[in-house]
Structure 1
Amino acid sequence: MFKLLIFAVVISSALSDAVIELGDSDFDSGVAEHDTVLVMFYAPWCGHCKKLKPEFELAAKSLISNDPPVALAKVDCTEAGKETCNRFSVRGYPTLKIFKGGEMSQEYNGPRESNGIVKYMAAQVGPASKELTAADFEKFLEKPEVAVVAFLKEGGSLKPVFEKVSDKLREKVRFGHTSDAALLEKHGEDVLVLFRPKHLKNTFEESSVKTDSTDRAEIEAFIKENYHGLVGHRTTDNVADFKAPLIVAYFNVDYVKNPKGTNYWRNRVMKVAKAFAGQGITFGVSQHNDFQHELEEYGRGFVSGDKPVVCARDAKNSKFVMEEDFSIDALQKFVEDFSAGKLEPYLKSEPVPASNDGPVTVAVSKNFDEVVTNNGKDTLIEFYAPWCGHCKKLAPVFDELGTKLKDEDVAIVKMDATANDVPSGYEVRGFPTLFFLPKDKKDKPQQYQDQCHMFDVTPTVLQGGRELDDFIKYLAKHASSELKGWDRAGKAKKTEL
């Protein structure tokens, strides 16, 4: 046990050593020592930084041996790197920036897990496409990811187009090119071939597809259309590639420990997907543990057993769940009904309150139209989270506001956005988020924003504070009709004796 502990400490130390620690005194000289450096500006107390740290360290260990190598560095913005962080306009944590030749090159906008960081940064260095000889061609195809190879004829018209395409897509696609005579004889001249990873080989589609187009737009479309095949392996790294209408089978997808079992279920999904090829539906398989948050959005919670759980989203982002146990026939019927628009959307909702007579009306997904959209009143709605400290502080103010306005033509409403689906049109990124809806313009929710966040203001954001008087003044000013108890300036009207 003691030996295992020592081994774990050694491994952890080795990973940490792979990331270079820089500060104000050595930052410029440190980044200048490497052709390309990815720098993480962080704060030790930051939760997102703590989550990124082990992924960053794993990526650093891998990228040291990249050809050419990429260095990863970190700067503590609260201590030794304060001036450096100010110099590079670091406003939040973690902030990642790419340095080349000792100078800031660009913001890092890639994935934040180790494999994604490695792939993104490897694409930032060296040529966009690797030149292949007959000797290393097969080795290039051995990696467990898609490879796109150009077979270039001397003086052909594909080369200049391929160079532009590979440079544009280098961050997402692994490119190779060759002019080897034997390879051209086997695969063709001036053609582009997309090779699918060998671990995804199946009987429902070819292991490679090719195009002889020399049109840049056509080649880009060809790569995009064929990159993930009939049923792609959808991961946290490539999730943005899978557009709705989308059907996903969630199960224990593991191509390292259980490739045979993984493909057993994927092949069954593929059999159904094959029947719907060309109909605009995207299919994917995902590791259920990696997408627990999505499954919870579908009301599925923890997935047990070996069989896949199937969920879908249509072009309007409505959610659907296959209730039957997985089988080819059940999936076939589910996709047919999904395609025909016959399925009832899944709506995550708390039960409708038995009584809703409090000072603040409670909205849930199932009664949202009734208490918000079609209530015939101006409405101020708060989307909150039960665990949110700011929401807890706001609660008594909101209750008092509801009591003060009980005789006005204004509804004060709240909704737990963690237990209910937020309707489209309401962008909720944090808690609490408030919207004002004039009674005759319910299709255009207007975000209510604190004065202290004025840097976030857009034309649809309306300003106000979070004290009782702030809300009353705001509603008095923006109400469709003047309030009974307050004038437009928010001053209480005198009551007649």
Structure 2
Amino acid sequence: MMRMGERVSWCWALIVLLALDCSGVVYSSSLSSSSSSSWAVDGKVLELDDSNFDSAISALDLVLVDFYAPWCGHCKRLSPQLDEAAPLLADLKQPVVIAKLNADKFTSLARKYEIDAYPTLKLFMHGVPIEYNGPRKADSLVRYLKKFAAPDVSILESDSAISDFVQAAGTYFPIYIGFGLNESLISKLAIKYKKKAWFSVAKDFSEDVMVLYDFDKVPALASLHPTYNEHNIFYGPYEEEFLEEFIRHSLFPLAMPINYETLKLLNDDERKIVLTIVEDEDEEKSKKLIKILKSAASANRDFVFGYVGIKQWEDFADTFGANKKTRLPKMVVWDRMEEYFTVNGSESIDEEDQASQVSQFLEGYKEGRIIKERIGGPSFMGFMSSFIGIGTVYIIGFMVVVMMLIRSINKGDDEHPAVATGDQIEHASSEAESREHKSGEKED
């Protein structure tokens, strides 16, 4: 029979061991590290497993890893696209290697990298993983990944070089062009934000370029969002503090649609979101309101302005008390966690003079005429997991269960409760692991 102190020690040891397992901590042997120089870039997709995974991502600067399951239909459709892209990416000056891992078989690695759906793609840059949210067709995928193999700052010497750069950059990342700007002023920030944007300096350009990009003096830093047909101009001051503020705030369009992917992009941005809920984003009246939101956003860069249509994401809109019976459009300020705020007297926006109503909403919020609300609805776990990862949610839940077990043991000490057998403990651990890793499928 165990004494209370022994039981508590045993439980804490169990917590530590299971926590390590849930977070996917994997021991890398000296044999793996010693083979880091054996990887060849030959244009083929590498097949990784738990014995060589760490070695590969350590030895290769840029690796796109496809975490797949053999039974997954979307994975089977993605595979030939990766096969087609692999030789093209291998030929780059700084090669990008494509690899795949059977996450359904090597579950410890799947847990370590919080793989909760198949296929999941992650780009490893010098061993550090980032979520891949780009296209999955071969030609577009190659174009997207060239960004990560490009120079930190591209030097453009002519009008044609500027045009070629913008065209090659594509539409997936914002583009920064410093016209007449010293490269040294943005090189540090270009490295810092390399994962999120293209950076360049134009040394020589004509007046036609100045007209095209809508600036009338130099130096000037232009930010472009090709997807949204949007650009902004910064004339200084060029101290790092102000320059970084412009770059950081210009990473997103003035008003952006809110969906699963854009929520992930906003993960590192600490600003609150001024969220406008409409019936349908694609309606003409919604497009007119979005133009007004962009004007408001340009004067209020301390917020992120976003919009969502009930037709586009009904469950998400419902978490803010907006549905087909609600008077729309509706504006709220969301802290991106569990609370949001409405403004007294500005619960909805009428069709007449919407610009004034948007201004009144913002003024009311800043003056404190607000009502605090709590998020509800069925999709809360869905969009929250976009920020913290569903694997983390399961780990937290599992730890709570174990803590309740400890409390139960301590509470029943005087009654000398039976001690769980080794088989019972192993069975409970297996059930918890099974619950933790039930992966779905991601669409291409």
Structure 2 length-normalised TM: 0.56
Aligned to 2:428: none
Question: Residue 181 of structure 1: CA displacement?
Answer: 5.2
Q: CA deviation at 1:301?
A: 4.8
Q: Give the superposition deviation at 1:326.
A: 4.9
User: Which of 47, 72, 78 lines up with 2:98 in the alignment?
Assistant: 72
Show structure 1 runs of 5+ residues with no match.
1-17, 351-384, 386-416, 422-426, 435-446, 452-462, 477-485, 493-497
The CA distance in 2 between the partners of 1:346 and 1:37, in whole Å, is 44
Q: For residue 224 of structure 1, what is the aligned residue in structure 2?
A: 248
Q: For 1:385-412, what per-residue CA distance to the aligned partner results, in whole angstroms no more than 9, with x for missing partners?
A: 9xxxxxxxxxxxxxxxxxxxxxxxxxxx
- The alpha-carbon distance between structure 1 residues 428 and 332, as it changes in their structure 2 partners (threshold 3 A), is farther
Structure 2 residue 131 is the aligned partner of structure 1 residue 110 = yes
> Do residues 342 (structure 1) and 365 (structure 2) align?
no
The 2-side partners of 1:27 and 1:473 are apart by 42
- CA displacement at 1:324 relative to structure 2: 2.6
User: Alignment RMSD, CA only?
Assistant: 5.3
**1:70-114: per-residue Cα shift (whole Å, max 9, x none)?**
4433122556xx6xx98x8974563866568xxxx3132234453
> Is 2:319 the counterpart of 1:297?
yes
How has the CA–CA distance of structure 1 residues 199 and 41 changed in structure 2, closer, same or farther, with 3 Å as cutoff? closer
Question: Structure 2 CA distance, aligned partners of 1:106 and 1:432?
Answer: 24
Which letter does structure 2 place at the counterpart of 1:151? F
Q: Is the 8 A contact 2:152 2:199 kept in 1?
A: yes
| Equivalent residue runs for 1:186-335 within 5 Å | 186=210, 191-197=219-225, 200=228, 207-228=231-252, 230-234=254-258, 236-237=261-262, 238-240=265-267, 243-251=270-278, 252-253=280-281, 263-273=287-297, 277-278=299-300, 280-286=302-308, 291-301=313-323, 308-314=329-335, 318-320=339-341, 323-327=347-351, 328=354, 329-335=356-362
Is 2:183 the partner of 1:159? yes
Distance 1:54 1:317, change over 3 A: farther
Rounded Cα–Cα distance in structure 1 between residues aligned with 2:376 and 2:111: 39
Do 1:149 and 1:193's aligned partners in 2 also have CA atoms closer than 8 Å? yes
Secondary structure of residue in 2 paired with 1:270:
helix
Partner of 2:366, secondary structure, is: helix
Q: CA deviation at 1:56?
A: 8.5
Q: Residues 177 and 202 of structure 2 are in contact (CA less than 8 Å); yes or no, is this contact kept in structure 1?
A: yes
Q: 1:247 to 1:114 in 2, by over 3 A?
A: same
AA aligned to 1:74 is K
In 1, Cα distance between equivalents of 2:399 and 2:335: 30
Amino acid at match of 2:163: E
- The structure with the largest helix share of the pair is 2
Q: CA deviation at 1:247?
A: 0.8
In the alignment, what sits opposite 1:136?
Answer: 161
| Shift in alpha-carbon separation, 1:72–1:185, aligned structure 2, 3 A | closer
For the pair 1:38 / 2:64, whether they are aligned, the reply is yes
What's the TM-score, normalizing by structure 1? 0.51
Distance 1:141 1:32, change over 3 A: same
Deviations 1:110-143 (A, max 9, x none): 3445389878744321212333331132354465
Q: Structure 1's 342 and 44: CA in aligned 2 closer, same or farther, altered over 3 A?
A: farther
> Does the residue aligned with 1:123 lie in a helix, a strand or coil?
helix
What is the Cα deviation at residue 266 of structure 1? 1.0
Give the letter aligned to residue 211 of structure 1. Answer: Y
Residue in structure 2 matched with residue 179 of structure 1 by the alignment = 203
Q: After superposition, what is the alpha-carbon deviation per residue over 1:310-337, rounded to whole angstroms, capped at 9, x for unaligned?
A: 3322598521356435541544443333
Q: Distance in 1 between matches of 2:185 and 2:150?
A: 19
SS of the residue corresponding to residue 196 of structure 1 reads strand
Is the alpha carbon distance of 1:108 and 1:55 closer, same or farther for their aligned partners in structure 2, counting shifts above 3 Å? farther
SS in 2 for 1:176: strand
For residue 178 of structure 2, the aligned residue among 150, 154, 169 is 150
Q: Distance in 1 between the 2:114 and 2:392 partners?
A: 17
Q: Percent identity among equivalent residues? A: 15
2:150 maps to 126
Measured in 2, the distance between the counterparts of 1:198 and 1:99 equals 26
SS at match of 2:148: coil
**Distance in 2 (alpha carbons) for counterparts of 1:262 and 1:19:** 47
**Distance in 2 separating the partners of 1:281 and 1:193:** 22
Match for 1:166: what amino acid? A
How many pairs were matched up? 338
Whole-angstrom distance in 1 between the partners of 2:400 and 2:207 = 62
